[in-house]
Amino acid sequence: MRKILFYILFTSTYSFAQNSLSGVGGKSWGMGNAMVALPHSQTFFYNPAGLGFVENSFVNSSFDSRFDIVGLSTMSLSAVVAKKWATVAIGAERFGDQLYNENKAGIAIAKSTERVSLGVKVSYLGNYAEGFSSRNTLVTEFGVMAYISPKITIGMHAYNLTGASLYDFEKIPTTIRLGGAFQPTSKITIAAETEFIPSGKPFFKAGLEYMLFENFHLRTGMNSGIRTNHFGVGYAYKKWVFDYAVNTHPTLGLSHHFSLQLNLPKK
């Protein structure tokens, strides 16, 4: 009964439910999801402009287990192909189980100059609640990322600028994210961003990554929007990259996040 009531809450307030697809991946969760200004392995899901700064092709998968509650898990898969003329990526993510689930699959393209990258993404978004409803729509995203110096990057990401909706009584929120990243040394990366809905209250995210030794990273972060603290590690071995993160919520407990990436050989 408790599980059924939970899903009714999800279907009755879609602005709450859409947060379930707001972040994937071990590296991202390890840094509090403050990734709008960082080109990284899950940039397809956070800011498509970051794809323009990706130098190699790869396949990435992730699994997120939220608060050890059955049915609150997210899986994602993406593939990135880097070419001289542009970078193209496809990917999909799924949240939930057979009673309630949200799904999104999309394609993104990004083009960069030496300092600035622009990216666009179009996704097919749908949700399903057993015995209640099944809806889908198209959602667009736009992003900008720029190096204002070798050590400082800024980024902007806009989600659902066209005002798409799944239900007539409530639109999918339009979300704007603005942030920056600073790399004072080759071992340290600091990132921060603000996320807000035009009609809502903004909240803050921040993350830190430290390279303890070659190919091994420690991470931490915070997210004031969901009131969580974040910790993570990352390790690269030959063509494989593994990332793990855990975040703590004062009421709901722990969430675990895993990512595995396979780097493809350059042609």
pLDDT band per the 50, 70, 90 thresholds, residue 55: confident
Q: Tens digits of per-residue pLDDT, 65-113?
A: 877 676 678 899 999 998 888 999 999 999 877 788 888 999 999 999 8
Q: Whole-angstrom Cα distance, residue 61 to residue 42?
A: 9
**pLDDT for 80:** 95
From residue 219, give the alpha-carbon distance in Å to each of 11, 40, 65: 34, 14, 19
The CATH number of 2-263, from 3.30.1360.170, 1.20.120.140, 2.40.50.140, 2.40.160.60, is: 2.40.160.60
State the chain's mean pLDDT as an integer: 85
pLDDT at position 15 over 60: no
In b/e form, how buried is each residue of 48-63, taking b as 16+ CB within 10 angstroms? bbbbbbbeebbebbbb
Which pairing describes strands 133-149 and 116-129: parallel, antiparallel, or unpaired?
A: antiparallel
Domain boundaries in the chain? 2-263
Task: Spell out where the chain has E strands.
Answer: 58-65, 73-82, 87-96, 100-112, 116-129, 133-149, 152-159, 165-167, 170-171, 175-185, 188-196, 203-213, 216-223, 228-237, 240-249, 253-263
pTM of the prediction? 0.85
Q: Tens digits of per-residue pLDDT, 175-197?
A: 999 999 999 999 999 999 999 88
pLDDT at position 19 over 80: no
